[in-house]
């Protein structure tokens, strides 16, 4: 995919982890768009999910990385944005294979679930792993067909 720009976002519970991701991207010289939130003050995750995912579908960002308390709510919201394939990950294998096999374009993580060290490993492998295509393309196409309201059976 070459040089990447990452849209990052969170709610209040994911704010500390989002800040860690932001610092990591900064340190690595990777471009990012931080859609907020910008403090630990209460902020609803669906807003950040939609903002960050819109950046991806509009082509301003290549991938999105989102954080909330569990990573689950923000992934549910992200997956409602047409064109987004979000995966809530807590482990390295899933973060790697959701890029290789599902062409995931949004990684979601829970600040209350994993530590910063694990999270940054997931960020690294998610950003640096490419989609394998081939037989997996057919399956991704099927996911997107469901999004368009098509029947697969
Ligand atoms: C906020 O308290 C929490 O519910 C939210 O961050 C997230 O975990 C929801 O899925």
Q: Dump pLDDT digits (tens) for 73-88.
A: 999 999 999 999 999 9
pLDDT reading at 2 higher than 80: no
- Report the candidate in 104, 87, 88 with the shortest Cα–Cα distance to residue 140: 104
Instruction: Reply yes or no on whether 68 is catalytic.
Output: yes
The pTM of the whole model exceeds 0.95: yes
Cα(98)–Cα(83) distance, integer angstroms: 15
Strand 5-10 and strand 31-34: the pairing is parallel
Residue % of the chain over a pLDDT of 70: 98
Cα(52)–Cα(78) distance, integer angstroms: 8
Please give all residues whose beta carbon lies within 6 A of any atom in ligand 1, as ranges. 11, 13-14, 45, 68-70, 72-73
Strand locations in the chain, DSSP E?
Answer: 5-10, 31-34, 63-68, 86-88, 106-110
Q: What rounded mean pLDDT belongs to the chain? A: 97
Report, as an integer, the average pLDDT of 27-39.
98
pLDDT per residue over 116-131, tens digit each?
999 999 999 999 999 9
Q: How far is CA 63 from CA 83, 107, 110, in A?
A: 11, 8, 18
Q: Which of 37, 53, 67, 68 is catalytic?
A: 68
Distance 133 CA to ligand 1 centre (A): 33
User: What ligand 1 atom has the least distance to the C-alpha of 74?
Assistant: 10
Residue % of the chain over a pLDDT of 90: 97
pLDDT value at residue 51: 98
Cα(143)–Cα(101) distance, integer angstroms: 12
To test the pocket of ligand 1, the residue of 9, 67, 74 to mutate (highest count of ligand atoms within 8 Å of its CB) is 74
pLDDT value at residue 4: 86
pLDDT value at residue 3: 64
pLDDT reading at 18 higher than 80: yes
Distance 8 CA to ligand 1 centre (A): 17
Name the 3-class secondary structure at 129: coil
Residues 6+ apart with CB under 8 A from 110: 14, 17, 67, 68, 69, 70, 71, 72, 88, 90
pLDDT value at residue 125: 98
Is the distance from CB of 86 to CB of 33 less than 8 angstroms? no
Instruction: Reply yes or no on whether 136 is catalytic.
Output: no
pLDDT value at residue 1: 59
Residue-range domains of the chain with CATH? 5-147 (3.40.1400.10)
* Atom 3 in ligand 1: residue holding the nearest Cα: 69
């Amino acid at each position: 995919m070459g040089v990447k720009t990452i849209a990052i976002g969170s709610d209040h519970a994911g704010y500390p982890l989002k800040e860690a991701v932001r610092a990591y991207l900064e340190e690595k010289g990777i471009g990012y768009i931080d859609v907020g939130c910008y403090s630990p003050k209460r902020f609803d995750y669906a807003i950040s999910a939609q903002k960050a995912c819109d950046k991806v579908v509009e082509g301003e960002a290549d991938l999105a990385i989102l954080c909330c308390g569990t990573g689950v709510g923000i992934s549910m919201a992200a997956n409602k944005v047409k064109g987004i394939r979000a995966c809530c990950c807590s482990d390295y294998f899933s973060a790697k294979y959701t890029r290789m096999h599902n062409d995931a374009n949004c990684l979601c993580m829970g600040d209350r679930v994993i530590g910063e060290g694990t999270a940054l490993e997931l960020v690294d492998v998610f950003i640096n792993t490419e989609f394998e295509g081939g037989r997996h393309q057919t399956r991704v196409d099927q996911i997107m067909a469901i999004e368009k309201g098509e029947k697969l059976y």
